[in-house]
Every structure is written in C-alpha cells, then in structure tokens.
Copies of this chain bind each other. A is one copy, B any other.
Amino acid sequence: MNNYKFTISYDGSRYYGWEHQPGKDLTIQGKIETVLARMTGSDSVDVISAGRTDAGVHALALTANARLNTDLSPQQIRDYMNRYLPEDICIRDVRIASDKFHARYNCIGKTYRYTCYIGQLKPVFDRKYVYVLDKMPDVEKMREAAGYLTGKHDFASFCGNVHMKKSTVRTLDTIDIRVSGDYLTFTYHGDGFLRSMVRILTGTLLEVGWGKRTPESMPSLFHEKRRALAGFTVPAKGLCLIQDDYNRG
C-alpha cells in the first residue's frame, strides 16, 4: 500500500465543487474516487486534497493524495485515470509520496488567479473561464488597496462561511494585479484561504477600482469582522487554483 501524490487539472464549470456531498454526485472528488475504487477493486478510496474548490471554480494544478493498493506504476495509474475520467478532469502527474504526506495538512501555500475580461467584444471561446467587466476599474487604485490587504490579518470579513468557528487569521503574501490584452488578472499567494475569500477580495478590489470604496478604507474591514462590510463575491467561473506549495520531501 503506497501513498500517492496527484496533480490534477479540471474545468469546474459543471461540478458542484471538489468535495463530494450527499445527494450531489457531480463533484471532482467523487469522479476521482470512483475511478480509483474501480482501478483498485476497492469498495471506496479516500482522496485528500490540499483544499476544496467551490462549485464552478477551476484548477490548473491541485494537489491531492490517496493510499492505494495496486501493482500499477505511477505512470500506469495516471494513464488509467485519464482514460476513465471525463474530459474535463486531467491527472497531470502521479508519484509515490512519503507515507506521512498529507495534501491538506502539509500544504504551506497556495496560488489562486482570478481572471476578468475587459475587451470590447464578448469572449466567445473562453467565456467559461472569465468574468466580463462592463466598466474598466482603476488599476492603480486597486494596487493601492491591495497593499493594505496583504500581510497577516483576520480575514473574517472576507469569509463566505458565516458559521466559521476556527481561526480566520491568514497571511496573504502578495496580490499581483495585471492587465494583459483583454484580460485583467488578480493573482493571490498566501498560506491559506477561507471559503470564497479570493472572490470576496476580488469583488472588494473591483469596488475600489470603480470608485465605490477608497484604498484607505481597507484596514477598517479587518477591524470590524463582518462579511457584509466587504465587497461582493465575484462569480466562480473566473477563479482558478494555480498551485499548492509543499516543502521538499
């Protein structure tokens, strides 16, 4: 029985998110566990991911692990999974990890990217991966606001789960805001993210960019811990998990 580490891409458009939920069978975790159970002839397989993406959110390289009883090589496991998984889920890599490796507990950082479309025309071919903005926000103002949001803070106002009982303190290292052609992207790196945090941060920054809030008003969002004070939650389809970080080994 080896512990395997997986790197997974998916188009989250038609899924209820990563995590399997009672009564909702269209989840990425559910699809992967079903294929692995079939491959190993087990009743069930538990796949642990670095985190749970919400309904409609995509992933370029999500990390997961699972203990499997199989004689197949990592390459054979990858090929088997890609053959039986639907075309919107791709296993990029499978390798044997140390027995202690845990995709969630060992994850030390994550990168998320949120993509807005700022072109004149409707984005026909990548419409499922972008949020279309009607009005161009002021990028310099958003960068100024981002300066207030990075660092170690209590992000309770940016948490989509109002029943969150655990700590809502996180360290947000960087928010990189770029315009490239018809796209405006927000790339976030931090040690962990609360539910919907990236989408609420992006909505708040856009409201700054549109002049509805000032950069200087950002610190007050940390002091008062109320979701209603922060900005709107941008749509899931523009969000993509880019990478999960681990220490070597």
Contact = CB atoms under 8 A, between A and B. Distances in A.
B88 A127 contact: yes
A122 B11 contact: no
Nearest to A58: B125
A74 to B, nearest CB: 14
Contact of A122 (B90, B121, B126): B90
Contacts of A126: 125
Interface residues of A, number: 18
This chain: copies in complex: 2
Contact of A124 (B88, B121, B123): B88
Interface string A66-90: 0000000000000000100001111
A12 to B, nearest CB: 10
A102 to B, nearest CB: 25
Contacts of A82: 121-122
A79 to B, nearest CB: 10
Contacts of A92: 121
A108 B87 CA distance: 39
Nearest to A128: B125
Contact of A9 (B9, B89, B124): B124
A15 interface: no
A6 interface: no
Contacts of A129: 125
Interface string A86-100: 011110100000000
A58 B124 CA distance: 10
Nearest to A123: B90
A10 interface: yes
A216 B166 CA distance: 71
B11 A87 contact: no
Interface string A1-44: 00000000111000000000000000000000000000000000
A10 B88 contact: no
